């Protein structure tokens, strides 16, 4: 019988990744990079069907298999359906990247209960229930979960209070999941600094450059490289890797 966790060198050939929020921006870049490394990829999206199907075609052009599956991560039933469909399509799951998130400004004065719930539901509740749904599949393959915190969850941003709280929650979620799912499944998180892409307002990068010792913002490749590092790092679990150009210093 073939070992389901076996892989050729550092390639992800034969392995399957699911990336939430993968139709656009950083999630798309992560999905494409995993495909370049050999993985077949489930592109999760909520409403961006055109962009999700375009990501699927990009992955197929790289010689890998891909499927786009829609789900509202605010619904536990839809989360379960997402993973059921992924399992039906590929028969296994090795990597879960909990990338989907929102970024809603909300200060001490402007935070409403609707904003609070929208942020915590998407940024913290959904990653837990995705992990819960994925766990049986990942245990079979000795897989890995990669969550996304960010520097707001470490530093605390007064203009984004619910966001900062949600991302601080992701840090603790990563630790408890790592304990709960060990030894079969490793769970780690990435806390990016400002990541800029083509078309982003230049003031985003300008402000970050002033604060970061490396004097530049991050690029999607910086984060995709980190995802691959954590996928391959078999003796790391329960950790949060800060990728911020030194901003938190």
For residues 22 and 191, what is the distance between their CA atoms, to the nearest angstrom? 18
Query: What band does 1 get if pLDDT is binned at 50, 70 and 90?
Result: very low
Flag whether 62 is in a domain. yes
Flag whether 6 is in a domain. no
Flag whether 1 is in a domain. no
**Domains contained in the chain, number:** 1
- When pLDDT is averaged across residues 229-239 and rounded to a whole number, the result is 98
pLDDT at position 19: 98
Is 167 designated active site? Answer: yes
Average pLDDT, the chain: 94
- When pLDDT is averaged across residues 105-130 and rounded to a whole number, the result is 98
Point out the catalytic residue in the list 80, 139, 160, 175. 160
Q: Which domain holds residue 43?
A: 16-242
Instruction: Return all residues near 2 (Cβ < 8 A) that are at least 6 apart.
Output: none
Q: What is the CATH number of the domain that holds 110?
A: 3.40.50.720
pLDDT at position 201: 81
Per-residue model confidence as pLDDT tens digits over 192-230: 988 888 878 887 778 788 888 999 888 999 999 999 999
Flag whether 5 is in a domain. no
Per-residue model confidence as pLDDT tens digits over 120-130: 999 999 999 99
Q: Dihedral through CA 211, CA 249, CA 166, CA 236, nearest 10?
A: 130
For residues 179 and 158, what is the distance between their CA atoms, to the nearest angstrom? 31
Flag whether 8 is in a domain. no
pLDDT greater at residue 3 or residue 199: 199
Per-residue model confidence as pLDDT tens digits over 135-178: 999 999 999 999 999 999 999 999 999 999 999 999 999 999 99
Point out the catalytic residue in the list 167, 175, 179, 210. 167
pLDDT at position 3: 44
């Amino acid at each position: 019988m073939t070992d389901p966790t076996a892989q050729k060198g550092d390639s992800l050939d034969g392995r399957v990744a699911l990336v939430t929020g993968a139709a656009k921006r950083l999630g798309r870049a992560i999905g494409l990079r995993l495909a370049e490394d050999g993985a077949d990829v489930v592109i999760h999206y909520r409403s961006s069907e055109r962009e999700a199907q375009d990501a699927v075609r990009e992955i197929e052009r790289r010689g890998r298999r891909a499927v786009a599956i829609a789900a509202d991560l605010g619904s536990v039933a839809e989360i379960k359906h997402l993973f059921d469909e992924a399992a039906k399509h590929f028969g296994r799951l090795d990597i879960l990247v909990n990338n989907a998130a929102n970024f809603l400004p909300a200060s001490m004065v402007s935070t409403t209960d609707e904003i609070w719930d929208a942020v915590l539901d998407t940024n913290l509740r959904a990653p837990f229930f995705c992990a819960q749904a994925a766990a049986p599949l990942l245990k079979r393959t000795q897989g890995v979960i990669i969550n996304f915190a960010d520097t707001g969850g470490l530093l605390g941003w007064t203009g984004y209070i619910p966001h900062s709280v949600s991302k601080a929650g992701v840090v603790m979620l990563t630790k408890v999941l790592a304990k709960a799912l060990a030894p079969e499944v490793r769970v780690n998180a990435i806390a990016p600094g400002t990541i800029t892409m083509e078309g982003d307002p230049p003031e985003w990068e300008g402000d970050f450059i002033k604060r970061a010792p490396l004097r530049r913002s991050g690029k999607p490749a910086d984060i995709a490289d980190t995802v691959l590092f954590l996928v391959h790092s078999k003796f790391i679990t329960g950790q949060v890797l800060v990728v911020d150009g030194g901003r938190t210093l």
